[in-house]
Amino acid sequence: MARMNRIEYENSFHHVIDRGYLKKTLFYEKNDFEYFLGLLWSVCESHSLIIHSYCLMPNHFHLLLQNPLKNISKAMHLLLLRYAIYFNHRYQQKGKVFERQFLSPIVDTENYLVGVSKYIHRNPLEIVEKNLFEWPWSSCKYFINPRLIKPKYLETSLILSKFSKSPKSFLDFVLESTDWNPEQTFYSNTILGTNDFIRKIAIKHLDSRINTDIKDSFKIKKVFQDKFNELKQHILNFDTDLRTQEALAVYAFKTKTNLTYKEISKMLFAETLSNSSLISKIKTLKKRSQVEPELAEMIHEIDNF
């Protein structure tokens, strides 16, 4: 399996995300949430991480972390391993607890820091409506109520400084409706920032083989040409019918490369299928995966390729 690009350097900021395996529940009850937070505090202490926002939801979590010692990958692997051991022991089960690879994209702090914090804190909105401070497994309450004793490794002043350190203005900002989703903005699951920021970080920390001639904007090749055959072969190994394999291939090349639909049609179907036909294949595939666990597992493998 190809490993995800990870970038970290001294004092880099990261939006860390992980979910339960196949989107299953991670935290069933209060003890689970508390145990995970306890592990998080311990890992922050041992790896000198600083938390700028966090939110735990029943089947996933978000962290906005500062990485002074360039060791966030080791810290997160340790955190997830310890929680997985606890979870499997507590619920008498074996196997995977988390998605195969957590996300930890670098954050452009000049342009996206407060936006990421807002996105993280809005996660429980459908559960608690406008009373975000009532969700106990989020840092939101510490931003809104300065009299609360913060966890030792939580830092609120940097984000609040953008609001003249006013809790009321911060809350108004978080509650203001938005459709922006950083998870749909990550470049190659690796960088969240402006085009200039992406270019700077990618050239310095990723690969010099970059493509700057797509719609006049900078893009990173998520999987280079030498990985295409490996990806196709992986799909051919799936035990399923030809039509499903074709749909899986369309999904894989669209999500794991920067190929356009026209290029995918040329590569897989000799340009006989239109963009709308390929989009329809992906939509049908996702709909089927909701009722076909084996197909959902195949998609999951592609997502983590």
CATH number of the structural domain spanning residue 53: 3.30.70.1290
Instruction: Give the pLDDT confidence score for residue 119 in this predicted structure.
Output: 96
Residue 58 in domain: yes
Q: Please tell me the least confidently modeled range out of 44-48, 86-90, 133-137, 213-217.
A: 213-217
Residue 2 in domain: no
Instruction: Give the pLDDT confidence score for residue 202 in this predicted structure.
Output: 78
Domain extent at residue 27: 12-183
pLDDT above 60 (res 224): no
Q: Among the three residues 115, 149, 183, which one is the final residue of a domain in this structure? A: 183
pLDDT above 70 (res 213): no
Q: Which residues contact 297 (CB under 8 A, 6 or more apart)?
A: 22
| H or E element, residue 33 | helix 30-47
Question: Two tokens at 77?
Answer: 């692997």
pLDDT above 60 (res 50): yes
Q: Number of C-alpha atoms within 13 angstroms, CB side, residue 77?
A: 5
Q: Is 98 helix (H, G, I), strand (E, B) or coil?
A: strand
Number of compact structural domains in the chain? 2
CA 98 to chain centre: 12
Amino acid, res. 273: L
| 50 and 155 within one domain | yes
The answer to whether the beta carbons of residues 49 and 153 sit under 8 Å apart is yes
Q: Above pLDDT 70, what percent of the chain?
A: 89
For residues 99 and 93, give the distance between their C-alpha atoms in angstroms, rounded to a whole number.
16
| 169 and 292 within one domain | no
For residues 74 and 49, give the distance between their C-alpha atoms in angstroms, rounded to a whole number.
11
- Of 189, 262, 139, nearest to 17 (Cα)? 189
pLDDT above 70 (res 290): yes
* pLDDT tier for residue 227 given thresholds of 50, 70 and 90: low
Question: Two tokens at 253?
Answer: 């090349």
pLDDT above 60 (res 247): yes
For the question of whether the overall pTM of this predicted structure is more than 0.75, the answer is no
| 147 and 276 within one domain | no
Instruction: Give the pLDDT confidence score for residue 258 in this predicted structure.
Output: 63
Instruction: Give the pLDDT confidence score for residue 214 in this predicted structure.
Output: 37
Residue 191 in domain: no
Residue 47 in domain: yes
Question: Two tokens at 19?
Answer: 């979910």
Q: Among the three residues 149, 183, 217, which one is the final residue of a domain in this structure? A: 183
Instruction: Give the pLDDT confidence score for residue 77 in this predicted structure.
Output: 94
Residue 40 in domain: yes
| 130 and 76 within one domain | yes
Q: Please tell me the least confidently modeled range out of 247-256, 273-282, 290-299.
A: 247-256
The answer to whether the beta carbons of residues 76 and 102 sit under 8 Å apart is yes
| 285 and 178 within one domain | no
pLDDT above 70 (res 298): yes
* pLDDT tier for residue 68 given thresholds of 50, 70 and 90: very high
| 168 and 43 within one domain | yes
Amino acid, res. 74: K
Instruction: Give the pLDDT confidence score for residue 62 in this predicted structure.
Output: 97
Q: Number of C-alpha atoms within 13 angstroms, CB side, residue 20?
A: 13
Q: What is the pLDDT of residues 181-193, one digit of tens each?
A: 888 888 777 889 8
Instruction: Give the pLDDT confidence score for residue 222 in this predicted structure.
Output: 44
| 173 and 30 within one domain | yes
Q: Among the three residues 183, 217, 248, which one is the final residue of a domain in this structure? A: 183
Averaged pLDDT of the chain: 85
Amino acid, res. 91: Y
| 266 and 129 within one domain | no
Residues in the chain: 305
